[in-house]
Structure 1
Amino acid sequence: MNDPIYFTEEHRQFRDNLRRFVEQEVVPKAGAWEKAGKVPREVLRQMGELGYLGVRYPEKYGGSELDTVYSAILAEELGRSTFGGFAVTVTVHTDMASPHLANFGSPEQLQRYLPPLTRGEQVCAVAVTEPDAGSDVAGIRTRAVRDGDHWVLNGTKMFITNGVHGDVYFVGAKTDPSAKGSRGISIFIVEKGTPGFRVGRALEKSGWLCSDTAELVFENCRIPAANLLGGENKGFYQIMRNFQNERMVIGAAAMGEAARAIEMTVQYVRDRKAFGAPLWDKQAIRQRLAMRAAQVEAGRALVYHCAWLDAQGRDCVKEVSMVKAFCGELVNDVLYDCQQFHGGFGYMREAAIERMVRDARVEAIGGGATEVMLEEVAKRI
């Protein structure tokens, strides 16, 4: 795969160093993480020490002060690991949860929470989705009521990545019950161990097995008023602002996974013989892989175009929605073909392709289902 034309030597060095880290510290070990159901903290601390957990945050909080293109590189390389659970554990921490704090936190909140997050000493999660409110954020039912110097939270969150083993949670709740639709939502910082807050259960998934996913329960959970993030009743704007980054990152990870799957499959069909010749000699197979490679190149180009637009401060809601819809569907199409060309071996749990097929499915669902994304695009064309 070719680099985008605006890649600098710094971009390439960042990518190459990260790829070496993933190949040496993740790929040989992540099979055990899948069985354990979590990514070890020491790996996240290693990533923090190397600067991968605070790519776009200020140096005074442990960040590197880089731009959106580096976030796309990070997500793509994590996707290439072939372990979607590892990729989402990290990207939720770096690009879906902690940006709420980085974008809207007070100086005191930033100083308290951001340095340990960028160092990998603590893990964060964003808790917006509920049993009846996913892509439809306006459907949030969790309530927060002011009581003196505290807010009292009641409600349930569902499908929360990093929910079981997280330390800091950014929780969306309705603070103005009279407000209609998306109005009247606020975001709160809730720490693990806060009375009234508990993990209801760890959820079992089809894929992303080394990523922990939880149901969270808030029962008269009292949190200090100082833990309100970014102002009362402004949560919907905060959520929508970061959705664009979240969706771009999911698209980048999907294209990393798809590109790696094609590489693995090309090698497999060159080695695998059937009817007296390598599978690569079958025109139908090599042409299908060639088309998939072309589509992944197009998806990557769109991802990096969006990242560049965002880095320039330009509106890219339409393009990011295209990324999420196109890349989320494409990675599933690519993995379907790659598994097919692996034959019976591709259906075995020992095959990386089998795991990647399971991991890819949710990329057309999480962060905004394809159908929702296409409606966003349709509004703007």
Structure 2
Amino acid sequence: MTVQDQPAPFSAPEATPPLLPRTLMQPEHEAFRRTVRRFFETEVAPYTEQFERDGHIPRQLWNRAGELGLLLTAIPEEYGGMGGDRLFSTVLMEEQGRVLASATGFMLHSDIVAPYILHYGTEEQKRRYLPGMATGERVGAIAMTEPGAGSDLQGIKTRAEDKGDHYLLSGSKIFITNGYLADLVIVVARTGNTGKGSRDLSLLLVETNSEGFSKGKPLKKMGMKGQDTCELFFSDVRVPKENLLGQEGQGFRMLMQELPWERLIIAIEAQAAAEAVFDLTRQYVKERQAFGQAVMDFQVTRHKLAELQTEISLGRTYVDECTRAMLGGKLTPQAASAAKYWVSEMCSRVMDACVQLHGGYGYMWEYPVARAFVDNRAHRIYGGTNEIMKELISRAL
């Protein structure tokens, strides 16, 4: 992507003033936001159609994000990261949502894959993999879901057979974000035979250039068409024992420890998308004329927007409080599950209403509201379906 062929930057509408003042971010986070916003407006959003045609973003965009310091923002500097807190990650998610950019897999790479290596990896593993992930030279993915095991992680069939100094990995994974461009994949595999489900699972760091490792083509999805998502196949892939992440048989425990943050990420992204589409719709109904007046002038429109703004504001307050709890180490799995469940459902309600307020134009693919409608439907599915979220919340009752 060169300056000569670069399309015009994305122009977002004026943000709707919040019903309550927001107190979560500090000046350093807002200063960082300016860099992030410029990146997404000029180097991501204008290329949405190209990403959709390709089914993934180009490798040079990963390199550019790394060059600007936008990857691994919450990873210590000694491993190539920015050394910031997770509010810097939150800024990235919010700005990605502001321009409705669904194609980039930066968050999974930086805030899901990298933390597994930081929290459970050996010193050698951290120094081997994290610096390259920080520059964008090495793209990370995590492979949990299988054709026959989605939210039920204990149903995983992919197996890593102990061969002394290495494992032989066999099986397949599906719906893997960043899978097509990935250089490193954390694979959830069965290493034991106790029959006790969770105690038999381990996490392996698998390099994608390993013999026997293959990738399917980018999957053709209903939404998020530009996001890199594919199937992965393992045919007796030799994985050195030193690539075991953490301890053998502790994979399920590690997954459970990291999933609350992953689910809060989904809530943060859904919240940002709901706010962005609301702003677009508010601008549209002010400009769109019907029966001799702006659509905004009809009471039914104003009341619908009031309903939506109220729901969005409730979501914003809860997401920010969950984020505050996470920063203090007090985010419970139930609170994160509730955030993922309620905010993703709210986001879908907002998207549906905003398509309706756009009328026929809301059904046209070139209108951002149409893309957002299908892109954000996935929030209710990945990270554990919302039905699973309700079950997790209910267990604490």
Match of 1:294? Answer: 310
- The worse-fitting range, judged by mean Cα deviation, of 55-64 and 198-207 is 198-207
The residue type equivalent to 1:81 in the other structure is V
Match of 1:108 among 100, 124, 130: 124
The residue type equivalent to 2:42 in the other structure is Q
1:96 Cα deviation (Å)? 2.2
> Separation in 2 of the partners of 1:282 and 1:188?
58
Match of 1:136 among 131, 152, 161: 152
What does 1:48-63 correspond to in 2, within 5 Å? 48-63=66-81
Pair 1:197-2:223 in alignment: no
Per-residue CA shift, 1:85-116, capped at 9, x if unaligned?
A: 22xx1111112222211211111011110001
Per-residue CA shift, 1:264-309, capped at 9, x if unaligned?
A: 0011110100011000011111211122122112212222211211
The residue type equivalent to 1:49 in the other structure is E
What does 1:76-155 correspond to in 2, within 5 Å? 76-86=94-104, 89-155=105-171
The sequence identity of aligned pairs, in percent, is: 39
Match of 2:24? Answer: 6
Q: Secondary structure at the match of 2:42?
A: helix
The residue type equivalent to 1:157 in the other structure is K
The answer to whether the 8 A contact 1:68-1:308 is kept is no
Can you give the 5+ residue segments of structure 1 that lack an aligned partner in the other structure?
A: none
Q: TM-score, normalised by structure 1?
A: 0.96
> Separation in 2 of the partners of 1:22 and 1:290?
29
> Separation in 1 of the partners of 2:170 and 2:249?
17
Match of 1:23? Answer: 41
The answer to whether the 8 A contact 2:72-2:114 is kept is no
The answer to whether the 8 A contact 2:72-2:111 is kept is no
The answer to whether the 8 A contact 1:197-1:217 is kept is yes
Q: Secondary structure at the match of 2:224?
A: coil
> Separation in 2 of the partners of 1:85 and 1:6?
27
The residue type equivalent to 1:214 in the other structure is C
> Separation in 2 of the partners of 1:82 and 1:195?
38
Match of 1:346? Answer: 362
The residue type equivalent to 1:78 in the other structure is Q
Match of 1:185? Answer: 201
Q: Secondary structure at the match of 2:162?
A: strand
The residue type equivalent to 2:22 in the other structure is P
> Separation in 2 of the partners of 1:200 and 1:19?
33
Q: Secondary structure at the match of 1:27?
A: helix
> What CA RMSD, in Å, does the superposition of the two structures yield over aligned residues?
1.4
Task: Describe the shift of the 1:199–1:6 C-alpha distance in structure 2 as closer, same or farther (beyond 3 A).
Answer: closer
The answer to whether the 8 A contact 1:72-1:303 is kept is no
Match of 1:280? Answer: 296
Q: TM-score, normalised by structure 2?
A: 0.92
> Separation in 1 of the partners of 2:312 and 2:29?
20
Match of 1:73? Answer: 91
What does 1:247-266 correspond to in 2, within 5 Å? 247-266=263-282
Pair 1:320-2:327 in alignment: no
> Separation in 2 of the partners of 1:303 and 1:20?
24
Q: Which runs of 4+ in 1 moved over 6 A?
A: none
Match of 1:355 among 354, 366, 371: 371
The answer to whether the 8 A contact 1:69-1:308 is kept is no
The residue type equivalent to 1:296 in the other structure is I
1:65 Cα deviation (Å)? 1.9
Q: Secondary structure at the match of 1:328?
A: helix
Match of 2:233 among 184, 198, 217: 217
Q: Secondary structure at the match of 2:197?
A: coil
> Separation in 1 of the partners of 2:223 and 2:375?
5
- The worse-fitting range, judged by mean Cα deviation, of 9-18 and 206-215 is 9-18
> Separation in 2 of the partners of 1:380 and 1:52?
37
The residue type equivalent to 1:297 in the other structure is S
Q: Secondary structure at the match of 2:148?
A: coil
Q: Secondary structure at the match of 2:100?
A: coil
- The worse-fitting range, judged by mean Cα deviation, of 289-298 and 356-365 is 289-298
1:201 Cα deviation (Å)? 4.2
The residue type equivalent to 1:64 in the other structure is M
1:15 Cα deviation (Å)? 2.2
Aligned residue-pair number? 379
1:143 Cα deviation (Å)? 0.8
The answer to whether the 8 A contact 1:83-1:356 is kept is no
Can you give the 5+ residue segments of structure 2 that lack an aligned partner in the other structure?
A: 1-16
Match of 2:173? Answer: 157
Match of 1:41 among 59, 66, 87: 59
- The worse-fitting range, judged by mean Cα deviation, of 285-294 and 338-347 is 285-294
Match of 1:269 among 257, 265, 285: 285
Q: Secondary structure at the match of 2:226?
A: coil
Per-residue CA shift, 1:134-174, capped at 9, x if unaligned?
A: 11111111111110211011111111111111110000001
